[in-house]
Amino acid sequence: MIKVALPKGRIADDTLEIFRKIFGLTFIFEDRKLILDEGDFRFFLVRNQDIPTYVTEGAADIGVVGLDVLEEHKVDVVRLLDMRVGNCKVCVGVRQDDTIDYTRPEIKIATKMPNIARNYFAQKAIALKIIKLYGSIELAPLVGLADAIVDVVETGTTMKQNGLKVAETIMQSSAHLIANKNSFIIKKDEILSLYHKIKAEISK
Ligand code: PRP
């Protein structure tokens, strides 16, 4: 059996759809259920940011997670495949009428991705204050908590509806298939077989 950690939401739905096409099984989670056994697989539904923990600790053999999360947490796993779902980008956002003033003595950035933000602004040699938030990041510049945000942009709707715009793009992201290093040795045949099936399916 292969244990698969999936991030709740669109990426899990899109990944399960790929599994359905390959294996012809149902792969549907009940309303609030967090574990699903189907065929040779056991799926876990977890928060996006928790996927690296499940996989590195070996509670899951493989997982699907955004490249942004892998970059943020510098996760020690085997990166197998770009699943070509969950496409988004990590951007610096400011108020519509604003720009980032690099001459300021310090720039305050609100984000749930402090490492990506710090690395990005380190290249620009400015003083940075990171304000770590856990959600609704777009609110921060509107209420004077931060000068700008570093956050995920998918459709751009959240920024638009809150009067923000993309000032700079830091990185493109999409969901990647990853494996626990030990699982990749112990269950190599099963994991590689799955890898080849997924690769063939998403290349159609
Ligand atoms: C993410 C992200 C943005 C939004 C971007 O938040 O942090 O707020 O999605 O998507 P969009 O460009 O399609 O509008 P999420 O929905 O995960 O909620 P959170 O703020 O609670 O983390």
Q: Percentage of residues in the chain with pLDDT exceeding 90? A: 88
Q: Is the CB of 161 under 6 A from ligand 1?
A: no
- Residue among 167, 165, 166, 163 at smallest CA distance from 102: 167
How far does the centroid of ligand 1 lie from the alpha carbon of residue 153, in Å?
7
pLDDT in tens, 109-126: 999 999 999 999 998 888
Instruction: Name residues whose C-beta falls within 8 Å of residue 9's C-beta, 6 or more positions apart in sequence.
Output: 48
Going along the chain from its start, the domains and CATH numbers come out as 2-86+174-203 (3.40.190.10), 88-172 (3.40.190.10)
Q: Is the CB of 158 under 6 A from ligand 1?
A: yes
Q: Is the CB of 9 under 6 A from ligand 1?
A: no
Sign of CA dihedral 173, 175, 177, 178: positive
pLDDT in tens, 61-111: 999 999 999 999 989 999 999 999 999 999 999 999 999 988 888 999 999
How far does the centroid of ligand 1 lie from the alpha carbon of residue 155, in Å?
9
Question: Mean pLDDT over all residues of the chain?
Answer: 95
Sign of CA dihedral 25, 30, 48, 152: positive
